């Protein structure tokens, strides 16, 4: 009896240990399939005969919180983005250029919008800014796993709640959100210049935001320092002041913050210009998480016009130029698949997944009419 009892006790211990090893949280995984490399535009000028660069392609993803299409497509508000259109880029979502680009909703607020951008899927189960942490793997998770090198993915955001949408397990990559949220801090503080900006941001007044919000000038400075020193495969820069000023009813502040964000994007291109082949092989994508209502100050479920968004793109991976006439409607869920295509990664074949924005990535054709707002 004592031996059998001991055996039962031992079995119970083994089962308990085994049960403790089973994950209590299951995450949705992308359904990854290999896809052919995205075709690029044929060269129209002489090309040198040097061997192809060994540098891997990279992406900088910038999201400007709550910027209306009506303001993004005004050259005086975004001169850097409009120069990019003329020289090395294109945009989707301009007026009178085919079907629009939208957030999927139905709640056109920030956290669902960011979740859709990062996962490439509609944000099921997240309808407000109080959602818990993401349950679906994001493009940040995928790049960090496939690349495997420390610091290959870095997420910098003025709004602290980005952490919830960035990953089910944000400890897998560098993340600095708001004034205090940090993951893989050792990758940041080992560089004195990066560490100095990080600490300045931690002490800054959150205005025009609230709580743990970090001013955009410090978020962009931190992202730029990290970009030049660590050269990540995927860098995210989230600037939140346009939405903060809009909610305060400060239209001049909103426009000034949009112009400051545009200047920060110009600094991204300047930084890439100093980075040799890695800089040349980096594509910059700029979009927003939601639009704004007719009253300009607000957005959300009750204001369906605030679903409308836009996307600018520039760099080696972008074949189109200027304002592109869309051949189909696009959603924020198409951003992550476009990032995957630019990085030559497997695509997400899940039925709910978005698709790459081919109008930007493939050579121009009769179906892709590129022109101006007029």
Q: What is the DSSP letter of 149?
A: S
Radius of gyration of the chain (CA): 22
Per-residue tokens: 232: 């990540």
pLDDT at 13: 36
Work out the burial of residue 352: count CB atoms within 10 Å of its CB; fewer than 13 is exposed, 13-18 middle, 19 or more buried.
middle
Q: Check residue 104 and give its pLDDT.
A: 96
The pLDDT confidence band at residue 32, using thresholds 50, 70 and 90, is low
> Six-digit token pair at 279?
């800089």
What are the pLDDT digits (tens) for 217-258? 999 999 999 999 999 999 999 999 999 999 999 999 999 999
Give CA–CA dist 65/111, Å, rounded. 10
Q: Is the pLDDT of residue 46 over 60?
A: no
With 0-12 CB in 10 A as exposed, 13-18 as middle and 19+ as buried, what is 195?
Answer: middle
Give all domains of the chain, ordered by start, each with its CATH number: 60-371 (3.40.720.10)
Q: What is the pTM of this model?
A: 0.85
Question: What's the pLDDT tens digit per position in 141-168?
Answer: 999 999 988 899 999 999 999 999 999 9
Phi-psi region at 125: left, alpha or beta (left = phi > 0; alpha = psi -120 to 50): left
Could you read off the pLDDT of 321-331 as tens digits, one per residue? 999 999 899 99
């Amino acid at each position: 009896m004592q031996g059998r009892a001991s055996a039962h006790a031992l079995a119970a211990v083994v089962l308990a240990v085994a049960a403790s090893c089973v994950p209590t949280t299951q995450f949705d995984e992308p359904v990854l399939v290999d896809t052919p490399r995205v075709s690029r535009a044929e060269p129209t000028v002489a090309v040198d005969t040097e061997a192809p660069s060994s540098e891997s392609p990279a992406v900088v993803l910038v999201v400007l919180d709550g910027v209306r299409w009506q303001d993004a497509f005004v050259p005086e508000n975004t001169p850097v983005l409009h120069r990019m259109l003329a020289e090395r880029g294109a945009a989707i979502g301009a007026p009178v250029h085919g079907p629009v680009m939208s957030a999927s909703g139905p709640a056109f607020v920030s956290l669902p919008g960011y979740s859709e951008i990062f996962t490439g899927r509609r944000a099921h189960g997240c309808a407000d800014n109080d959602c818990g942490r993401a349950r679906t793997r994001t493009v940040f998770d995928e790049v960090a796993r496939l690349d495997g090198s420390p610091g290959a993915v870095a997420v910098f955001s003025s709004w602290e709640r980005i952490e919830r949408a960035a990953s089910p397990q944000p400890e897998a990559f560098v993340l600095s959100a708001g004034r205090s949220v940090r993951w893989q801090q050792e990758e940041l503080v080992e560089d004195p210049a990066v560490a100095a900006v990080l600490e300045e941001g931690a002490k800054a007044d959150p205005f025009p935001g609230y709580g743990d919000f970090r001013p955009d000038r410090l978020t962009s400075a931190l992202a730029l320092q990290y970009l030049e020193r660590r050269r990540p495969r995927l860098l995210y820069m989230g600037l939140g002041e346009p939405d903060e000023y809009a909610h305060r009813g400060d239209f001049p502040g909103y426009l000034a913050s949009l112009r400051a964000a545009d200047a920060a994007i110009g600094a991204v291109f300047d930084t890439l210009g100093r980075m040799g082949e890695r800089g040349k092989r980096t594509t910059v994508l700029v979009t927003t998480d939601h639009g704004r209502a007719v009253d300009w100050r607000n957005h959300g479920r009750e204001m369906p016009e605030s679903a409308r968004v836009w996307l600018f793109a520039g760099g080696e991976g972008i074949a189109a130029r200027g304002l592109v006439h869309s051949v189909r409607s696009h959603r924020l869920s198409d951003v992550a698949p476009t990032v995957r295509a630019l990085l030559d990664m497997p695509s997400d074949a899940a039925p709910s997944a978005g698709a790459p924005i081919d109008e930007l990535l493939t050579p121009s054709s009769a179906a892709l009419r590129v022109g101006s707002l007029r």
